[in-house]
Structure 1
Amino acid sequence: MPLDPIHAFYCRKDYLTLAQYCKIKSGGICARCGGVFDIDELRPHHITELTLDNIDDVNITLNPANIEVLCHDCHNAAHARFGNVVGQKHVYVVYGAPCAGKSTYVQSVATRNDIVVDLDRIHGAICVCGQYDKPDATKRVAFALRDYLLDEIRTATPRRRWQDAYIIGTYPDRIDRDSLAREYPPDVINFVHIDTSKAECIKRAHETIKQAATRDAVVGWIEKYFARYTE
């Protein structure tokens, strides 16, 4: 299940760095409607659309002059979405180690019409604990909500108004990814591996997590991921 070249490009560090630079440089202003937004609410958009014919042309893919920064509504309009379903739905399973940048990637490519299934965010929505604190008391509810969303995605019909779905998880074992792939037609599901090195993941954990006990736990999760990972 190789990743198509265009989505592989959106995983690259040089693009993610450029995208963040363009968002900051915009000052929070949408290039089309002129509205002012928080940086995290904006989306970089290639003026000349990326295709298989130009994906290796850095004058198009990594040229700041070819990237405009848009709000959600203008980004959807640029892709002719306007709140309506466009074509076939697709499912993107975004997987990798803890602290690899999975959520950052999804934030850079998803639109407001897409469904994002992220167990960390689901758990954070139902309790007052931090990102890496998952109390046993609320785990059952969090998993039930995740499973409901996964069922929504599996049984979706074109009449449902959401567009694409992004499923975020670690999925280190190939057997689990293969099992997930069998739940969807092959032209619907795509796997996006955020292939960040173990050293970089651990470095990010140390840089972003202040509480020592939590940081040590996350580093342990990272170690376990790479011990289990199979291509």
Structure 2
Amino acid sequence: MLYVVSGPPAAGKSSWIEARAKPRDIVIDLDRITRALTGPGAPQWNHDPIASKVALRARYAAIDEAVKHRDQVDVYLIHTMPSETWLTRYQRLGARLITVDPGEQVVRERVQAMRSSAMDRVVTRWYRHYRGGEAHPAEAQASRDW
């Protein structure tokens, strides 16, 4: 099964996956990919543009390969704001679309506490333009170790 997990930054998408994915499952998370491709001490979020570009290419390759194996393992893919083109592709693949959203106030508090001010624009964009999939409100707990 392919699970496409969307939601605003700091909503708890990674935590939702961590609570469900088994060790053999595939998890495609651009933040994790970027961290894997950068050196010690690189920031956890808001990566260097070159590192982000390389990681995005690796993510595309990972998606292409992982979906071939979704009948043998579950594939969890974080895609914050999938375009209509991506949504169509995911639907053709039989994906289960999941939206993790603990609410705008919680998200803004988390972003203010741990992310750069640039992420605030992404939060605004998400709440203005994107909502969809099967909603899964995050519990009151933090989405990560803040």
TM-score bracket for the superposition, by shorter chain length: 0.7 to 0.9
Q: Give the alignment's TM-score, normalised by structure 2.
A: 0.78
Q: SS of the residue aligned with 1:225? A: helix
Q: Give the alignment's TM-score, normalised by structure 1.
A: 0.51
The offset of 1:202, in angstroms, is: 0.4
Amino acid at match of 2:2: V
Alignment of 1:13-162 (within 5 A): 90-128=1-39, 129-156=42-69
Amino acid at match of 2:79: G
The offset of 1:141, in angstroms, is: 1.5
- Checking the alignment, whether the CA contact within 8 Å between 1:132 and 1:218 is kept in structure 2 is no
- 1:169 is aligned to 79
Q: Deviations over 1:106-139 (max 9, x none)?
A: 0111010100000011011111421222211222
- 1:87 is aligned to none
| More displaced 10-residue stretch of structure 1: 173-182 or 141-150 | 173-182
Amino acid at match of 1:98: P
Distance in 1 separating the partners of 2:46 and 2:69? 32
- Checking the alignment, whether the CA contact within 8 Å between 1:172 and 1:230 is kept in structure 2 is no
- 2:126 is aligned to 225
- 2:104 is aligned to 198
Amino acid at match of 1:204: R
Unaligned runs of 5+ in 1: 1-89
Distance in 2 separating the partners of 1:230 and 1:157? 25
- 1:40 is aligned to none
Distance in 2 separating the partners of 1:146 and 1:202? 27
Q: Deviations over 1:66-123 (max 9, x none)?
A: xxxxxxxxxxxxxxxxxxxxxxxx1111111101100011011101010000001101
- Count of residue pairs brought into register by the alignment: 130
Distance in 2 separating the partners of 1:142 and 1:223? 24
| Pick aligned residue for 1:179 from 80, 83, 89 | 89
From the CA coordinates, give the structure whose radius of gyration is larger: 1
Amino acid at match of 1:218: M
Identity %: 27
- Checking the alignment, whether the CA contact within 8 Å between 2:34 and 2:52 is kept in structure 1 is yes
Q: Deviations over 1:5-38 (max 9, x none)?
A: xxxxxxxxxxxxxxxxxxxxxxxxxxxxxxxxxx
Distance in 1 separating the partners of 2:2 and 2:82? 18
Unaligned runs of 5+ in 2: 133-146
Q: Deviations over 1:141-190 (max 9, x none)?
A: 201211111011222375xxx621100121255554233212x1x3xx21
